[in-house]
Structures are given as structure tokens and as C-alpha cells.
Amino acid sequence: MNSSSSRRFPGVSRTLSSGRSAPRRGKNASRTTNTSLSASNVLSPVFASIMEGRSAARGQIGLAAIDLTTMDFHLFSFVDSSAYSSLKTQLQVLEPVEIIICDSINERHSNAVLHEAVRSVCDQATISAVQRRYFDGARGHEMYRSLRARSDPNSKLENPGDKELCLAAFAALVKYIEHIEGFLFASSSIRITFHEDAALCVMDAETWENLRVIDRTSTAKGKDRRTIFSMIASGTLTVAGARLLRASLLQPLADEEEIGARAEAVEEMLEKPHLLERSRCLLACAQSIDSILPVIVKKYREKTISKAEHRIVQLVHLRQTLQLVEKLRQLLPNFLSPIIFTKAETLLDDRIEDIRSILDDTLNMDVLSLNGKKNSMDARNQKIYAIKKGLSTPLDVARKAYEELLKDLHADTRELGECLPDQNVQLAYSASRLFHYLWITHDANRVAVPGNFINIVRNKASLTFSSRHLMKFNDRIEQSVCEVMLESDDVISEAIDAIRPHVEVLYTLIDTLSTLDFLCALVVYATERDTVRPSFGASVIIKAGRYPLLDIPGRPVVPNDAYLTPSSRFALITGPNMAGKSTYTRQVGSLCLLAQIGSFVPAEAACLPIFKRISSRVGQNDTLSENLSSFAAEMTGMAGILASADARTLVMVDELARSTSVEEGIGISYAIIEELIERKCFVVFTSHFLDLATLDASYAAVENFHFAPQVRQTSEGEVLDPSHTLYRGSYAGPLYGFEVAELAALPAPMLQRARELAERLHEEWKSRREEEEEKLETREILRCAHAFRDLIRQPRGSMTKANLMQIRARFLDVARARNAMEMEDNEEE
Ligand code: ADP
Ligand code: MG
């Protein structure tokens, strides 16, 4: 691939910033096997183009992007905030290596703001400002009509009207890529998907990071941390399947029907393990099917040997994949779930047979059977004889010449006979050394090689060498191979031209295979862990849930419940350090995320709402690039969350305002909590400010939970261990702060004074709390009543036995506590 610096696009007015050692991805992607699928290497080179609305259309963004491996164009049109938060998220999903921005002379200032926003999320990408004239909406619409695959049912863009901006971005992007990459897009060959306000769940980069969904830093640091992606991707077999998984995790579904359809397919596959196994065996043969698309879409101006070879290999590969389709056609109807059924139907498309017969008329069927381990000569011959005999006279002549040369070479044994008679020397071939002599001998290091031989390489039990005579032969053979390739390419070009009108079905086929692979990976995950299919309702009800990344077979993990309903939707969690507070917030978030991609979740039972947005904020994350103090960064993050939080948002806040003074921290936390309650979102909020626990007295929505340590007796006295178990109610201390201070060897009298002060403060807090006790008790009863009401209001299917048991247990708790208190009162009387 050419870099932008070697070929300059005539419309680039300024290269605004270029990625620091930007990794060029993609080349490896097609070679990736399932063992090395990571979030970064399933990405292929994506180019993006951005056009911003002006005057009346201010705030409107048009974004076009293409993935050069899958040749998938995506056009986005949306209204964005002044901080470009939607654009930033979308760019983070796409991870482009090059971005072009419209450069209009009169708008330099706002361009700079946009550029800054883009750079903040794509610091590895090359960003160039391209002249305004290339961003032409009308031209974009014309291109759209001529380039899109003919039978593309996506007709939304027939009326360009309000899509002007993304069509303009599309026009500039097509021209830019054609220039920079040196090919033309063949007409009627590409798939263009238009995304309007999609029915997806929105997450931001910080939430991906907090929940460890993907690891965006791994490429920079050269190591992969375990992530939710890597955990499930280990079950995928194709690059396209892993890519679909990544996209689903970053932008989960928010449509109950779609999610349900996936989960249903997963459940069915779980019940039919033998069919699953067979499907996976077939998928393993289709590892990089999508690399066929660039071959069909790109039209090069000049022929080269390497491109010719590549095209031949890809067509052979496509033919092999079509063999697999036949087997899938028989296998898939054994599944009844609608999603697999629909996908199986796409395999019956006549156009697949049309492509197959074009390939059968072109390719030599003998080379198709050359699978598995091939030596260099087999691999080369597969390309040389890939095209059927009799299709092109010049090709047949060229191959004849090649064969003659080989015959001459093998017959010409004079050189060896004269110089090394009676030795075990033979002619060998390798892709890098071409034809050479191989002498097998135990004395490889000592034997003398006559002076007319050159390029001697000694190995342990053999040595290889060449001669001027042999090198001349190699030159002639290579020339004749080039001839064969170039002649083959003419036949291949005809075949590709014939396939192109049917290209749409290849996009569909790739979708089918990747969806199948993705679903199989979810099944593999569900089989390997103790998981359950979640149901959907109005509340978060998780029984014995586990954080997926701690949930490793053979390692102990403490399961915890979660219970958030519309009327009791704010879980305030307190507890000492290392108790498991952060892990718990992640657990709730990642179970919701998994459920929304259609996966099973690690729990005994789970009923979850479908969120439109999952946001999180973790204290003490320094965003050095923005040069903000931790506190300011936290507040910016919270402001972003608050701007869009509503009743269909899940918010996780972990240790807010740690890096400011206690009074300020508590004050800010109060204000933010009140706002979150006002906005009716579901919240898991952890804090070490015990004062916040009193909020449940003022707000019915707030419920206190805590992690308490476990007391263990040792010979030296009591030791506190974290139990990682969540309890109802607020934490009453201790926070282990003193233990840590003691370890840090602070002077004993000072520590004693601190303990006394802390105890006094704690007593004051306790007596305040007792005054509120009665109010809280009434609230608890009301809460249980609400829980019952919520449960009754839920759709029938989602009311599980687990939900009922949970609420019953709570009622009994409350009733028991009440009885105990009444008995105490009676005794006193
Ligand atoms: P906190 O946020 O309260 O300081 P963390 O959530 O960071 O605590 O957890 C501290 C450590 O305890 C982590 O290393 C984690 O692996 C472990 N841990 C947390 N929750 C659990 C659990 N439910 N089961 C087992 N280990 C846990
Ligand atoms: Mg923590």
C-alpha cells in the first residue's frame, strides 16, 4: 500500500497531523488465525472522510468510511454536540488510519476545533485537510448510483436531500482513495450501508476501557490484556466473525427482537452440540473469505505479476469456499431459530451457482484439490495451472514453454555428473532460492564443493548451492512464469468481470458466514462457563452474577446479586478498599453488555432492561493528553454522562471526586447523585464517603449496599479479609485506613489520636442515623411493595421464579427485623 506521503492527493491543502508510527493494519488480518485474533488485528485499513454542516446545518455531521479489506462503505449522518462526542465515538469504533477533513478557507477556525477533536481520539491516524471542491454532494450521489452493487436493496439514498453531507464526504473519499491507493472502484461493485440514528446502544471509549471490553492500548504497548473481546474471540474461526464480535461489543444492540433472535440461536446451538461442531469445522475452512472482495472491486490501471498471482489465489480460494456452501446448505436447515433459518436461505441464492459455474468454466478443478500442506513447487504449480487448458492460446503456449524449460533443466545433469559424480546431490526448489542443488551428507561442514559452484549454504546434514548455469536456467524459467501469470491474468480479468454483476451475493455470503461464526463463538463461551440466557424486563435482577473476566474455570470467584428497579434504581455501594466495589460495578455493566449482544451471561439467573446507553466514570483516571487534572477530567466525564442520561441509561460511577477535599468531594457527589436520580437512570455508584449513605433517607430511589470484611482469627489476633460479598445497608467501617497507616509506620501516639477522632465522628454519624431509622423502615416496606408492583407490570415471560424468590426473601427480612424490634419494645414496656 502506498503511503500518502509518497503519492500526494492534489486536493490535500494541508496534512494536519500524521500518526506516530501508525501501524498499517490489514495485511496481517487476512492471515490471522483464530489463535491470534485480537481487537487490533481484526481491524483492516479504514479510511474516513468528515464533512461538517455550516450555517443552517451547523451541528450536522456527514461521515464516510471504507474498510479496504472488506470493501464496505459506511455513510453516517447525525447531529452532534459542540464537543463532537458522537463523532468521536464513531471514529473510535472505526479506528481509521487516514482521515480527510473538508478544508474551506473561510472556516479555518472551526476546522481547527474539529481537527483537534478528531486528533484527540485518533492520534495514530494521518489527518489531511482536503479542498472544499472535492466535497460535492451532487457528485457523491452520482458516484453512489454508479458504484453500489446493482441489486443493493438499500434504497434510502435514492433521495439524497438531507444526506448531502455524507454524500459529499463519500465523494471526496472515493477520489482520495483512488488516487492514493492507485486503483479505480469498479462500477456496480461496492456495498454502501447508510446508518441513520441506528437502534444501537451507545457506549463511550471510557466505558469500553472501564469494562475492559477491548484493549485499545495493546498495540502501542505490544501486549494484549485479557478483555471481554479476547475472551469470546478465542472461539471465533474467521476474521469476519471476530470483526462482527468487536463491532457488537463496542455498539451492542438495543432492539429486543434482534437480541432475542441471537440469544435464541445460541440456545438452540447449545442444545445441538454435534451440529455446532460440524458448523465450526466448515467455518474453519473459510478463514479469510472476505479477501475476495478487493479483488472484485479494485480495477488497476497496470498489470503486475504479484497482483496477477494474488487474483488467481483468491479465485481458487473463493471456489473452495463455495464447496463449503454446499455443505452448509445441508447443515443449516437442521436449526430452527429464525436468524439461522434466514441466513440459510441466503445460501440458496441462484447467483452463488452462477459464480460457481463461472469459476468452473475458468479454473482447473485439479488444482482445487491441492489443499493443506503444500511445498513451494506445489504452490507455484497451483497458480500456473489454475486456469483451464484451452481457454487462451497464448496461455497454453506460455505454459508449454515453461514445461519445456523444466524438462530441459531436469535432463541437463552434465554439470553434476562431471563435478560431483556418485554423490547424493539432487535438484531442489524453494520460493526464495528457486532451483538449486541439495547435497545430503553427514559431513556437510567439511565436504569440499568444486569451484564452479556458488552461493554455498551449509546446514547440519545437507548443503545447498547453485551455479551460473543453473542461475541462467532460473532466469529463463522465471521469465516464462511471468509470461504464464500475465496471460492467466487476462482470463482471470474476464472471469472477474463476469462475477462482478453478482457481487452482492458475496457480501451476503460473507455476512452469513460471519454471523454464523459470531454465534458459534457465543455458544463456545456459554459452554465453557456457567451461564444463563438472560430475559428482558424493566429491572436489573441478577442472581449470583460473576464479573466475566474473573470468571475463569478453576479460580474462586464470589458471585453477587444485583437488584435495581425503576423505583429503586440507585445502588450506593460503600466498603473498604480491595473489597470488590469496582469489580461489582463492572460486573453489572458487563452482564448488561453481554446480554445486549445476544450472549448468555455468567449468573444463575438474570433479567435485565435493554439500555440505550451504558456510561461509566471511574475516579482518578488522569487524561494526560488533555492536560487536565484528575478532578477536572472526572467532572468533564460526568458532565458528558449527565448531558445524555435518561431512564434507559445505565450509569456506573466508581469513587467519584477522590482527588479533591472531603467536603468538596461529598458536596459534588451529592449534587451529581441528585441529578442522576432526577434523570431516572439506573445507577451503580461506589464511594468511600460514608456520609453519602444517608441519601437513602431523602430519596426513595437510593438503596445502600456494602462490602463487609470477614474476620479471621489467627495466633496474632483478628485479621480482616475481604469477603467480596455484597450486603444490604451501608457500611459502618472500618476502612482499613489505620491499618495501612500503621504499616506505613506513622508514630503510634498520632495514630491513637486519629483513631479517637474517627471514633467520635463515627458515633455522631451513628446517632444521626438512628434518628432516621423509623423513616427508613417505612421506606423499606414501601420498596418491597414497589418491587412486587414492578414485577407484576413486567411482560409475562420475564417474571422468573428467581425474581419472586428474591423479593420474598426481602419481605421476610424486613418482617423479621420489624418483629424483633416490636418484641424488644414490648419487653421494655
Ligand atoms: P475495590 O474497588 O473495593 O477497592 P476491587 O473491585 O478493585 O476492590 O477488587 C479488589 C480485588 O479483589 C481485585 O483484585 C479482584 O480481583 C478481587 N475481587 C473483587 N471482587 C471479587 C469477587 N467477587 N470474587 C473474587 N475476587 C474478587
Ligand atoms: Mg475500586
Quote the CA–CA distance of 704 and 772 in Å, as a whole number. Answer: 14
Q: Which atom of ligand 1 is nearest to the CA of 686?
A: 2
Quote the CA–CA distance of 189 and 298 in Å, as a whole number. Answer: 9
Better-predicted residue by pLDDT, 137 or 631: 137
pLDDT of 827 reads 65
Closest to 64 (Cα-Cα) out of 152, 170, 164: 170
Residue with CA closest to ligand 1 atom 11: 578
Per-residue pLDDT tens over the stretch 760-817: 776 776 777 677 776 677 777 777 776 666 666 655 555 566 666 776 677 677 667 6
User: Looking at this protein, which amino acid is placed at residue 502?
Assistant: H
Gap from CA of 212 to ligand 1 centroid (Å): 15
Per-residue pLDDT tens over the stretch 550-559: 999 888 999 9
> What Å distances lie between residue 96 and 66, 136, 176, 275, 555, CA to CA?
9, 22, 14, 38, 38
Quote the CA–CA distance of 350 and 39 in Å, as a whole number. Answer: 35
Stretch among 365-374, 595-604, 679-688, 739-748 having the lowest mean pLDDT: 739-748
| The CA-based dihedral angle spanning residues 665, 668, 671, 676, taken in that order and rounded to the nearest 10 degrees | -90
| Eight-class DSSP state of 132 | G
Quote the CA–CA distance of 122 and 93 in Å, as a whole number. Answer: 11
Residue with CA closest to ligand 1 atom 18: 580
Gap from CA of 665 to ligand 2 centroid (Å): 16
Quote the CA–CA distance of 274 and 270 in Å, as a whole number. Answer: 9
What is the percent of the chain with per-residue pLDDT over 90, rounded to a whole number? 46
Whether pLDDT at 52 is above 70: yes
Supply 645's cell numbers.
442520561
Better-predicted residue by pLDDT, 36 or 98: 98
Q: What angle do CA 277, 313, 48 make, to 5 degrees?
A: 85
Highest mean pLDDT among 22-26, 107-111, 492-496: 492-496
Residue-range domains of the chain with CATH: 5-197 (3.30.420.110), 255-384+499-528 (1.10.1420.10), 535-733 (3.40.50.300)
For the chain, the C-alpha Rg in angstroms (whole number) is: 33
Residue with CA closest to ligand 1 atom 23: 558
Gap from CA of 613 to ligand 2 centroid (Å): 23
pLDDT of 24 reads 46
Residue with CA closest to ligand 1 atom 22: 558
Stretch among 115-119, 458-462, 719-723, 799-803 having the lowest mean pLDDT: 799-803
Q: What is the pTM of this model?
A: 0.82
| The CA-based dihedral angle spanning residues 466, 468, 471, 476, taken in that order and rounded to the nearest 10 degrees | -150
Q: Best of 542, 561, 573, 724 to mutate for ligand 1, by most ligand atoms within 8 A of CB?
A: 724
pLDDT of 34 reads 39
Q: Best of 225, 583, 653 to mutate for ligand 1, by most ligand atoms within 8 A of CB?
A: 583
Whether pLDDT at 275 is above 70: yes
Q: Which atom of ligand 1 is nearest to the CA of 577?
A: 4
Closest to 47 (Cα-Cα) out of 138, 181, 239: 181
| The CA-based dihedral angle spanning residues 445, 448, 454, 459, taken in that order and rounded to the nearest 10 degrees | -20
User: Within 13 Å of residue 151, how many CA atoms lie on the same side as its CB?
Assistant: 11
Quote the CA–CA distance of 138 and 133 in Å, as a whole number. Answer: 11
Whether pLDDT at 3 is above 50: no
Gap from CA of 722 to ligand 1 centroid (Å): 8
Quote the CA–CA distance of 828 and 69 in Å, as a whole number. Answer: 80
Cβ(438)–Cβ(425) under 8 Å? Answer: yes
Cβ(500)–Cβ(315) under 8 Å? Answer: no
Quote the CA–CA distance of 84 and 90 in Å, as a whole number. Answer: 10
Gap from CA of 580 to ligand 2 centroid (Å): 7
Return mean pLDDT, the chain. 84
Q: Which atom of ligand 1 is nearest to the CA of 654?
A: 2
Per-residue pLDDT tens over the stretch 284-324: 888 778 888 999 999 888 889 999 999 998 998 899 889 88
CA 16, chain centre distance (Å): 28
Gap from CA of 706 to ligand 2 centroid (Å): 13
Gap from CA of 580 to ligand 1 centroid (Å): 3
Supply 1's cell numbers.
500500500
Whether pLDDT at 446 is above 80: yes
Residues 747-764, mean pLDDT to the nearest whole number: 73
Better-predicted residue by pLDDT, 333 or 301: 333
DSSP-based helix, strand, coil % in the chain, nearest 5: 50, 20, 30
Gap from CA of 202 to ligand 2 centroid (Å): 24
Supply 204's cell numbers.
463511550
Cβ(490)–Cβ(303) under 8 Å? Answer: no
Gap from CA of 223 to ligand 1 centroid (Å): 23
Ligand nearest to the CA of 547: 1
Cis amide linkage into residue 734, ω under 30° from 0? yes
Cβ(620)–Cβ(627) under 8 Å? Answer: no
Stretch among 253-267, 358-372, 433-447 having the lowest mean pLDDT: 358-372
Quote the CA–CA distance of 507 and 67 in Å, as a whole number. Answer: 13
Gap from CA of 800 to ligand 1 centroid (Å): 29
Q: Provide the 10 A C-beta neighbour count for residue 546.
A: 24
Cβ(727)–Cβ(701) under 8 Å? Answer: no
> What Å distances lie between residue 405 and 377, 429, 468, 602, CA to CA?
15, 14, 16, 65
| Eight-class DSSP state of 7 | S
Gap from CA of 823 to ligand 2 centroid (Å): 40
Q: Best of 561, 578, 689, 727 to mutate for ligand 1, by most ligand atoms within 8 A of CB?
A: 578
Residues near ligand 1 (Cβ within 6 A): 550, 557-558, 560, 575, 577-583, 724
What residue spans of 122-200 are helical by DSSP H?
Answer: 137-147, 164-181
Better-predicted residue by pLDDT, 494 or 24: 494
Closest to 148 (Cα-Cα) out of 494, 497, 504: 504
Ligand nearest to the CA of 576: 1
> What Å distances lie between residue 620 and 417, 513, 635, CA to CA?
78, 43, 11
H-helix or E-strand spanning residue 208: helix 205-210
pLDDT of 2 reads 44
Residues 475-479, mean pLDDT to the nearest whole number: 94
Q: CB-based contacts of 338: which residues, under 8 Å, 6+ apart? A: 261, 264
H-helix or E-strand spanning residue 8: none
Better-predicted residue by pLDDT, 825 or 647: 647
Gap from CA of 608 to ligand 2 centroid (Å): 24
Residue with CA closest to ligand 1 atom 26: 557
Cβ(676)–Cβ(644) under 8 Å? Answer: no
Q: Which atom of ligand 1 is nearest to the CA of 725?
A: 23
Q: 640's torsion region: left (phi>0), alpha (psi -120 to 50) or beta?
A: alpha
What is the percent of the chain with per-residue pLDDT over 70, rounded to a whole number? 82
Better-predicted residue by pLDDT, 637 or 331: 331
Q: CB-based contacts of 5: which residues, under 8 Å, 6+ apart? A: 18
Stretch among 29-38, 402-411, 592-601, 645-654 having the lowest mean pLDDT: 29-38
CA 193, chain centre distance (Å): 19
pLDDT of 665 reads 80
Closest to 339 (Cα-Cα) out of 598, 527, 549: 598
Residue with CA closest to ligand 1 atom 15: 580
Better-predicted residue by pLDDT, 194 or 270: 270
Closest to 135 (Cα-Cα) out of 65, 193, 51: 51
Burial class from Cβ neighbours inside 10 Å (0-12, 13-18, 19+) for residue 218 reads middle
Quote the CA–CA distance of 750 and 740 in Å, as a whole number. Answer: 14
Cβ(655)–Cβ(638) under 8 Å? Answer: no
Confidence of residue 161 (pLDDT cuts 50, 70, 90): low
Residue with CA closest to ligand 1 atom 9: 580
Ligand nearest to the CA of 618: 2
Stretch among 261-265, 598-602, 618-622 having the lowest mean pLDDT: 618-622
Whether pLDDT at 405 is above 60: yes
Q: CB-based contacts of 552: which residues, under 8 Å, 6+ apart? A: none
Residue with CA closest to ligand 1 atom 20: 580
Gap from CA of 812 to ligand 1 centroid (Å): 30
Ligand nearest to the CA of 584: 1
pLDDT of 635 reads 79
Q: CB-based contacts of 319: which residues, under 8 Å, 6+ apart? A: 356, 359, 360, 363, 368
Better-predicted residue by pLDDT, 529 or 768: 529
pLDDT of 366 reads 79
Whether pLDDT at 582 is above 50: yes
Residues 77-104, mean pLDDT to the nearest whole number: 88
pLDDT of 35 reads 40
Quote the CA–CA distance of 620 and 640 in Å, as a whole number. Answer: 17
Gap from CA of 209 to ligand 2 centroid (Å): 15
What distance separates the 2 farthest-apart alpha carbons in the chain? 123
Supply 432's cell numbers.
526464495
Handedness of CA 569, 582, 698, 735 (dihedral sign): positive
Cβ(148)–Cβ(190) under 8 Å? Answer: yes
pLDDT of 415 reads 79
Ligand nearest to the CA of 585: 1
Q: Which atom of ligand 1 is nearest to the CA of 559?
A: 23
Residue with CA closest to ligand 1 atom 14: 578
Ligand nearest to the CA of 620: 2
Q: Which atom of ligand 1 is nearest to the CA of 576?
A: 3
Gap from CA of 726 to ligand 2 centroid (Å): 14
Quote the CA–CA distance of 190 and 296 in Å, as a whole number. Answer: 9
pLDDT of 103 reads 85
Per-residue pLDDT tens over the stretch 371-394: 556 788 888 888 899 999 999 999
pLDDT of 624 reads 45
Q: Which atom of ligand 1 is nearest to the CA of 546?
A: 23
Gap from CA of 575 to ligand 2 centroid (Å): 10
Whether pLDDT at 91 is above 80: yes
Q: Which atom of ligand 1 is nearest to the CA of 575?
A: 3
Quote the CA–CA distance of 110 and 119 in Å, as a whole number. Answer: 14
CA 566, chain centre distance (Å): 31
Residue with CA closest to ligand 1 atom 16: 550
Per-residue pLDDT tens over the stretch 681-739: 999 999 888 788 888 888 889 999 999 888 788 887 777 788 899 998 888 765 555 55
Q: Which atom of ligand 1 is nearest to the CA of 587?
A: 23
Whether pLDDT at 4 is above 50: no
pLDDT of 414 reads 79
Residue with CA closest to ligand 1 atom 17: 580
Cβ(444)–Cβ(462) under 8 Å? Answer: yes
How many residues are there in the chain? 829
Whether pLDDT at 154 is above 80: no
Whether pLDDT at 511 is above 80: yes
Residue with CA closest to ligand 1 atom 5: 580
Closest to 299 (Cα-Cα) out of 413, 167, 425, 188: 188
Supply 805's cell numbers.
424468590
Residue with CA closest to ligand 1 atom 10: 578
Ligand nearest to the CA of 658: 2
Confidence of residue 43 (pLDDT cuts 50, 70, 90): low
